[in-house]
Amino acid sequence: MKMRLAEIAQAVQGELVPATATATSLEVTSVAFDSRALTAGALFVPLRGKRNGHDYVKSASEHGAVASLWSKDRSTDGVPDDFPLIIVSDPLTALQDLAKYYLAKINPKVVAVTGSNGKTTTKDLIAAVMQTTFNVTKTQDNFNNEIGVPITILSMSSNTEVLVVEMGMDRPGQLHRLSELVQPDIAVITMIGEAHIEFFGTRAKIAQAKLEITDGLSSDGVFVYDGDEPLLTDQPVRTNPRRFTFGRQGTNDIYPTKITESDQETRFETNRWQDFEFTIPLLGDYNVNNALAALSVGELLEVTPANLRGGLSHPDLTANRAEWVPGNQGEMILSDVYNSNPTAVRAVLQAFADTELDGKRIVVLGDMLELGDQSEAMHAGLASALNPATFPMVFLVGSKMTALFTALMDCYQPETTLFHYTEEQLPKLTTALRSHIAPGDEVLLKASHGLHLEKVLAALTKLTKE
């Protein structure tokens, strides 16, 4: 982005102080809320959280920020005299207003993606397909909330033609506000699972909240979703948009007619392009649905079949989503440590069970968070997906995994083939894993991000410095 400070002040209805000619003509080239990570030319956004961002404006100026938003109820004591401020009622609201203004200015096609599972992978696959034909900006890392979505928008270059934005949620109304902010041309829901069921109670209520992504759809917008999910197919949508479905059943607009799996990739054919075989560099046939969503968006935006195939085969995938990583003892590690819920665990276990290997499969599962009153039953319920013949060793991490540990004691031997550690015992877990791993083994790491199994991954990989 490139905007003069005066234009930004007008866009957020703020007061520029001091309103000198020098200040008004200052050019802003990025927006950041972390004073340590910003680049020269940035507008600093002081947000309130565990720490108040206003306390770091001096640090922001020292790291290259040219100006800052500033809450009008906050004293400017301590702000460098020559450092311009844009005084607003609320910096977060101003950030969102600026993003909406800039989005309208650049005016790309907007594809918004949400879902209980697969939204990050689907976002990456959509972006890969779009990049064969358009200039594309996509959500990076986990910038998918009220802060991350505006930052994603403001990261667009002026030649962006398609914006692919991921949207997360953990409460009702969140996707409504994000959808109203980005006003998508295409809204995608990957699937409805149990993620955040603690806050919603039922999958039906999760579906209702996910459907909020359609609230801001443009007048000719399209709703793309899993047509095999009754909670999406049977629910009314406020904007009554055009619909386009993907899934496994022949009633969908696009569905697979053949799927061939291997350890490193999945190939499939569809009803829509019968002469094309598509390949995704991902394990598990559950990822075919994510690819079908990407193909749906590609067709809606008139990407050629050849480019659809080329894009899917070479996506830039976000780390730690079912990603194979070589370990430092000759093992291969399937890292899926960013998020977890029962549907996702069962899907990755099924895929992991079908891999070819010379050694043994070791499963490491951490707590699935935000499952509420159903947590104990859902953790224990995973026992049906685990058996010693396929998974000879199981390591569990976290207090909630106690239920699964108990359920597995009938078929696994504690302290021999079944192990349980607390959240604070990751180093002990790592040591135990190392003692059992042999060359040719495969290790699955799967947990909610709050368990921080990425620390175990770091300790097991070849890049570790002992």
d(CA 461, CA 466): 11
- What is the residue whose two structure tokens read 């030649």? 159
Cα–Cα dist 191/87, whole Å? 42
- Supply the pLDDT for residue 196: 66
Q: What three-state secondary structure class fits 15? A: strand
Hey, what domains does the chain have and what are their CATH numbers?
3-89 (3.40.1390.10), 107-313 (3.40.1190.10), 323-460 (3.90.190.20)
Task: Write out the H or E segment, with its range, that includes residue 70.
Answer: strand 67-71
User: Is pLDDT at 261 greater than 80 in this prediction?
Assistant: yes
Cα 114 to Cα 209: distance, rounded to the nearest angstrom = 11
pLDDT tens digits along 404-430: 999 999 999 999 999 999 999 999 999
Its pTM stands at 0.92
Are the C-beta atoms of residues 202 and 238 closer than 8 Å to each other? Answer: no
Annotated binding site for ATP: 115-121
Question: Rounded to 5 degrees, what angle do the CA atoms 439, 337, 326 make?
Answer: 25
- What pLDDT does 274 receive? 87
Of the listed ranges 56-65, 72-81, 286-295, 409-418, the least confidently predicted one is: 72-81
Specify the pLDDT at position 99: 98
Report the chain's mean pLDDT, rounded to a whole number. 94
What's the one-letter identity of residue 58? K
Distance of alpha carbon 204 from its chain centroid, rounded? 22
Helices (H), 354-425: 375-381, 402-408
* Residues placed in the known binding site: 115-121
